[in-house]
Amino acid sequence: MFSNVVFSAAAFLVALGVLIAIHEYGHFWVARKVGIKVLKFSIGMGKSLYTRVGKVDKTEYSIGAIPLGGYVRMLDERVDELTPGERHRAFNNKPLWARTAVVIAGPMANFLLAIAAYWLVMMIGINGLVPLLGPIAPDTPAAVAGFQEEDRLVSINGKPTPSWDDARLVLLDSAINTGEPALIEVATIDGSNVTRELDLSGLEVLKDSGDPVAKMGFTAWFPTIKPVIGDVIPNGAAAGAGMQSGDLIKAVDGQAIASWTEFVDLVRPSANKELQLDVERDGQSLSLVMTPEATDVDGQSVGRVGVSVRSEEGLYDKVRTTVKYPAGTAFVKALGRTWDMTALTVQMLGKLVTGNASLDNISGPVSIAQFAGQSASIGINHYIKFIAMISISLAVLNLLPIPMLDGGHLMYFAVEAVTRKPVSERVQLFGQQLGLCVLGGLMFLAFYNDIWRLMQ
């Protein structure tokens, strides 16, 4: 468990460092281009762990002890003493268009990072699941529309869905954005192609926590894994009970077992509890008594018996796919995916503000760190894809019209463009205090949700 926490934390910090560096470099690069003197470029906040002074303008480059943020400090006559020769290089003395370009450059850099990341993974290829449907949950829109297990989603509203991730994105967009029936082309198990109409009206997928696609009635299909024992760990509970490689588990405490998942689901809650197993070995029926050992997993005591499942060659070939495109096509797809993810993020934020989405959907650093670790453990392409998604979220968040964020500064600039004079320092000071309260509240809510999920 400790190693998993360390790995997730490391993956999170690397991703966060990249995102902050790219964001702040956007501000830095444009500031230099429009002639503003940059005094300090910092990745991280608080006490400096590393500092270097550059040759140009003696800019101080720093890495802060607190990795949640960064900043670019520019020359400004409102806080700095200027020589006559430096007045034209102060941020506040630059024309409105230049100041706007500097502020908007940070979020734009994050959007460009997302495009580059998606372009890269779409060229090298990313492994995923074929959009095959698992058992359809009863009394759901999918059941009403007539979807069947092992239907393969070909396209949704005209958009191809080569992978389960693609299908999820379009389904979410349909549910959140239009609210109108989605036209879904499927390839049925008998090889025919049909179009089914999925009515999502009245389905509020974000009103509470949980998988919104599952609320529609959709889950991914997986092959049934037979409960056949692979390796048996010496000195484990299974070895002590006499279990051997190749044993087929037929029943546990009289309950018939048809899959490996069913076996695991019975063993996990049975720590230190004696279980009666009916197994088949070389055509012979045997009865074994086994007591799972208690093991701590994420603070919970679960049963472990020390066996692995025997994998069948080619078992997962039906559900595996690799989505890959030539460079030109990949770039166009990357632009489209960045746009779609941006629109979806904005729509979800809108639902949160209007009360049409539960605040439980807000995730904090702990949840994001877990996602970072999971994606990194799957493969580098999935980790790059994760960075792209978080980069888009960071860009959209920074563009919100909240003082203290880039969007707050852009809001002030919009007022200045109309009134032809800067917003007063008194109003800006009040805005900073208000922005701190809003951001502090959001951070508290995000941490609360993270802690609640861990407790659950």
Annotated active-site positions, please? 24
Residue whose structure tokens are 């299908």: 167
Distances (CA, A) of 20 to 24, 90, 159, 376: 6, 24, 33, 19
Cα(108)–Cα(24) distance, integer angstroms: 11
Alpha-carbon span 422 to 428, nearest angstrom: 10
Could you give the 3-state DSSP secondary structure of residue 195?
A: strand
DSSP string, 100-165: HHHHHHHHHHHHHHHHHHHHHHHHH-EEEE--BB-SPPTTSHHHHHT--TT-EEEEETTEE--SHH
Question: CA-to-CA distance for 112 and 330, rounded, in angstroms?
Answer: 15
* Beta bridge partner(s), residue 277: 252, 288
Q: What's phi and psi for 351, nearest 5 deg? A: -65, -35
Of 254, 276, 261, the residue nearest 226 (C-alpha): 261
The owner of tokens 């809650």 is 269
Other residues' Cβ atoms within 10 Å of the Cβ of residue 104 = 20
CB-based contacts of 417: which residues, under 8 Å, 6+ apart? 96
What's the rounded Cα separation, in Å, for the pair 402 and 443? 14
Cα dihedral across residues 440, 442, 446, 452: positive or negative: positive
Q: What is the DSSP letter of 178?
A: I
